[in-house]
Amino acid sequence: MFRTESEFVGWLRSRTPRGARGLRFGIGDDAAIIEGPRGRDLVLKADMSIEGVHFRRELHPPRSVGHRALARSLSDVAAMGGTPRFALISLAVSKRVAHAWIKQVYAGIFALAARFDVVVVGGDTAVVPGATLMDVIVIGEVGRGRAVFRSGAQFGDQIYVSGALGLSALGLRLLRSRTGRTADAAAARALRAHLHPQPRCALGVYLANRRLASALIDVSDGFSTDLDHLCQASGVGATIWQDRLPLPQLPAHRRLCSEDPLRLALHGGEDYELLFTVPPRRAGSVPTSFRGLPVHHIGEINRSHHLVLIGSDGKPVRLRPEGYDHFRQ
């Protein structure tokens, strides 16, 4: 029995050959890497978006469903330091939905694809009796040998995260409670983060091209879980300073939502921000803002093999990965 996704991925990885002509990296990171043309490598990633798991038709407008489905894969390419180029869309569409809904889903995909110069080149389509499911495959490119993996973090490396944490989770709660229909600016920002997340591709390319990041992952399952993935892959632990975590707009959050903002930031998921480590000698080169996107220095790699959160009172507590896990839910 697989108790967690990591166990399942480990089992898969143990059963696949590592060496093959043109293969740089297979199972076990945000995306696979194979040899590409003109001195570049190709980044390959497939990400599913499933009705009832990743979206709900009664909550998510169809354009957002399409946008989010593509954003997931773009974010994984960003998390390797790659530039997305092409996409395949496999759509198993419920016979219950109208074709107008399908067209709006694709409108969301095409609008985001156009913004990132990504061309949809194929896929598959089927009509199914049950829930709608989309699998979005993105092919990106990265300079040969420049892809950044989860596994490169070392003791003493400094930890950074872009943007804000917990904003998408707050947006989801506002959607559910229909608070989002107000004209509140803070609510609108949270809803936008949830419905139309922006993959951080430019920052990923910057980190890879300058060889700044020793390890890189995107925050999709939840900060605690993705930090755990990075630390497990690197064989290290991490110390996070709670006061440095980018919890957005705290007063607004407390007004809009009764849940603990720290909890949403740590475990909420779907932020699609980049979480990365930088060797101490390069830490001075990390910008505090990249093209308007804040970059926060939030902690450092320790030797403990655990995640530790240093509270506002200076006391350390163990941080457990409590983000999303398909095999555990």
Tell me if 35 contacts a copy of itself by CB under 8 A.
Answer: yes
Part of the chain binding a copy of itself (CB under 8 A), chosen from 98-106, 233-241, 254-262, 314-322: 98-106
**Residue among 184 and 325 whose Cβ is closer to a copy of itself:** 325
The gap from C-alpha 56 to its chain's centroid, in whole angstroms, comes to 19
Q: What is the distance in angstroms between the CA of the first residue and the CA of the last residue of the chain?
A: 14
Q: Which residues pair with 242 in a beta bridge?
A: none
Q: Is 110 in the site for a copy of itself (CB under 8 A)?
A: yes
Does residue 14 bind a copy of itself (CB under 8 A)?
Answer: no
Backbone φ and ψ for 273, nearest 5 degrees, come out as -90, 165
H or E element at residue 100: helix 99-115
Both tokens of 300, joined, read: 């450092």
- At 304, give phi and psi (nearest 5°): -80, -15
CB of 174 to a copy of itself, least distance (A): 25
Query: Interface with a copy of itself includes 37 (CB under 8 A)?
Result: yes
Q: What mask of x and - would describe binding to a copy of itself in positions 120 to 149, judged by CB under 8 A?
A: xxxxxxxxxxxx-x-x-x-x----------
Query: What's at 78, amino acid-wise?
Result: A
Choose one: 62-70, 192-200, 244-252, 321-329; the region binding a copy of itself (CB under 8 A): 321-329
Of the candidates 4, 50, 156, 297, which one interacts with a copy of itself according to CB under 8 A?
50
Nearer to a copy of itself, 82 or 180 (CB): 82
Residue 1 engages a copy of itself in binding (rule: CB under 8 A): yes
* Cβ proximity of 19 and 245 under 8 Å: no
Chain centroid to Cα 224, Å, comes to 12
Q: In angstroms, what is the minimal distance from the CB of 213 to a copy of itself?
A: 21
Minimum CB distance to a copy of itself, residue 151 (Å): 15
Query: Nearest approach, Cβ of 200 to a copy of itself (angstroms)?
Result: 20
For residue 96, state whether it binds a copy of itself (rule: CB under 8 A). no
168-204: b (≥16 Cβ within 10 Å) or e: bbbbbbbbeeebbeeebebbebbbbbbbbbbbbbebb
Distance CA 199, CA 31 (A): 15
45 binds a copy of itself (CB under 8 A): yes
Told to check if 36 binds a copy of itself by CB under 8 A, we report yes
290 binds a copy of itself (CB under 8 A): no
What are the tokens at 321?
């990965």
Please report how close the Cβ of residue 326 comes to a copy of itself at its closest, in angstroms: 5
The verdict on 97 binding a copy of itself (CB under 8 A) reads: no
Asked whether the CA dihedral 40, 41, 42, 43 is positive or negative, the reply is: negative
Q: Which residues contact 216 (CB under 8 A, 6 or more apart)?
A: 30, 79, 80, 81, 148, 149, 150, 204, 207, 208, 274, 275, 276, 277
Q: Does residue 243 bind a copy of itself (CB under 8 A)?
A: no
* DSSP β-bridge partners for residue 48: 135
Nearest 5°: phi and psi at 158?
A: -90, 145
Please report how close the Cβ of residue 157 comes to a copy of itself at its closest, in angstroms: 26
d(CA 152, CA 297): 18
Contacts to a copy of itself by CB under 8 A: 1-2, 5, 8-9, 11-12, 15-17, 20, 22-23, 25-27, 31-32, 34-38, 42, 44-48, 50, 52-53, 85-86, 88, 90, 92, 99, 103, 106, 110, 117, 119-131, 133, 135, 137, 139, 326-327, 329
